[in-house]
Structure 1
Amino acid sequence: MISLAVHHNLLRLYGFCITPTERLLVYPYMSNGSVASRVKGKPVLDWGTRKRIAFGAARGLLYLHE
């Protein structure tokens, strides 16, 4: 179901793989880096950027619930 969601604030999930030692999610190529690099990357985000991300995530959740 989640792989069918299409929204500009969400990455499309192409698939996944689960083994006893690994769990992988397959997303499309991101020209600005991976999801992991965005979550763990530097520099530290300023509060304005954090606020835009939070509102974007909220809009994405609202879209999924509608």
Structure 2
Amino acid sequence: MKSRWSYLRDCYSKARKKMKKLITVGVRSGSGAEAGHPQKSPFRFYSRMQFLDEAAQEMPCVIT
């Protein structure tokens, strides 16, 4: 279970970074994607794991 959770968490974090990059950069012209349509992540559990965003924001970062 522990290794599966690590795998899912890592895949979600990679997909989240990719989605943020798509949002900030935007859709290039000629890419075939229409503006106004929300981007969909290829990670199939992306929407179900978005609760991790809230948990990550609540945790303070401690640097020693």
TM-score (norm 2): 0.30
Q: By percentage of residues, which structure has more helix?
A: 2
Q: By percentage of residues, which structure has more strand?
A: 1
TM-score (norm 1): 0.29
